[in-house]
Structure 1
Amino acid sequence: MNIAYWITAGPLALFYFYAGTLKTIRSRDQLRPMMAWVDRTPLPALRALGAVEILGATGLILPPLTGIAPSLAPAAAIGFVLLQTGAITVHLRTEDRRIALNAVLTATAAVTIWLAIRQ
């Protein structure tokens, strides 16, 4: 296994697994302090987004770990780049300029794509 891949994909997967779990189980009131945009998003869409994040995190870890369908790892990372591109758009459209975390996640996912393809 490529150690550099695990150094980037591991924390990325942990972040998305945690964030996705929060979005699937917490109420809108519990999420509001962390995510100001939850009031503008329908609850089913918020839950679906959490499920997508959990599945993407799983896609970063299980395929390379098991050797089954390893092409799913770069696909999951591409999905996270697209997800964060959308997140940045939502933040900027609502005049919320706090996009530093989104930019870091986008860059990390992009590096993860490159490392996953190199394996």
Structure 2
Amino acid sequence: MNLALWIAAGLLAAVALTGGISKTFIPKDTLAAHNGGGWTADRSVTFVRTLGLVELLAAAGLILPAAVGVAPVLVPVTAVCWTLLMIGAMITHGRRGELAFVPLNLVYLLLAVVVAWGRFGPGSFTG
């Protein structure tokens, strides 16, 4: 169980890191031109960059607290927050008619739910 939760958290952290880097460092116009990035055209640069920073923090929050043994409860808390972020992503893509991205966001959401459930429950770091 522990290994599966680490793998799920690692996958989510990789997704968050990739998204965070792109939203933080790639120009908004470039993001808007790519498939699935059209939503950025409707948002301010500040919003997109802030979302990128939130994703970078999520990547760190899914791995670092448990890896260094400091406040490991932040791992499932981050997973819950990632779940909320994915709900927002699904709503955004759905409203824009980018329905191909909704199932992918749903997979990320389900992984986050598994991490949150596992780390709050049977695979917690405190037990």
Aligning the two structures, in what range does the TM-score lie when normalised by the shorter sequence? Answer: over 0.9
Structure 1 residue 19 displacement after superposition: 0.8
In structure 1, the residue matched to 2:7 is 7
Q: Which amino acid aligns with 1:26?
A: I
Once residues 92 and 81 of structure 2 are traced to their aligned partners in structure 1, the CA distance between those partners, rounded to angstroms, is 16
Could you say what the CA RMSD is over the residues aligned between the two structures, in angstroms? 1.4
Give the Cα separation in 2 of the matches to 1:59 and 1:14: 12
- Write the distance in 2 (CA, Å) between the matches of 1:24 and 1:91: 20
SS in 2 for 1:79: helix
Structure 2 unmatched runs, 5+: none
* Distance in 2 separating the partners of 1:84 and 1:93: 14
User: Structure 1 segments of 4 or more deviating over 3 A?
Assistant: none
Aligned residues between the structures: 119
Residues in 2 aligned to 1:95 and 1:22: alpha-carbon distance in whole angstroms: 22
Give secondary structure in 2 for the equivalent of 1:68. coil
Indicate the percent of aligned positions where both proteins have the same amino acid: 38
Who is 2:94 aligned against?
Answer: 92
- Contact conserved, 1:4 with 1:115, CA < 8 A, in 2? no
Give the TM-score taking structure 1 as reference length.
Answer: 0.93
Q: TM-score, normalised by structure 2?
A: 0.88
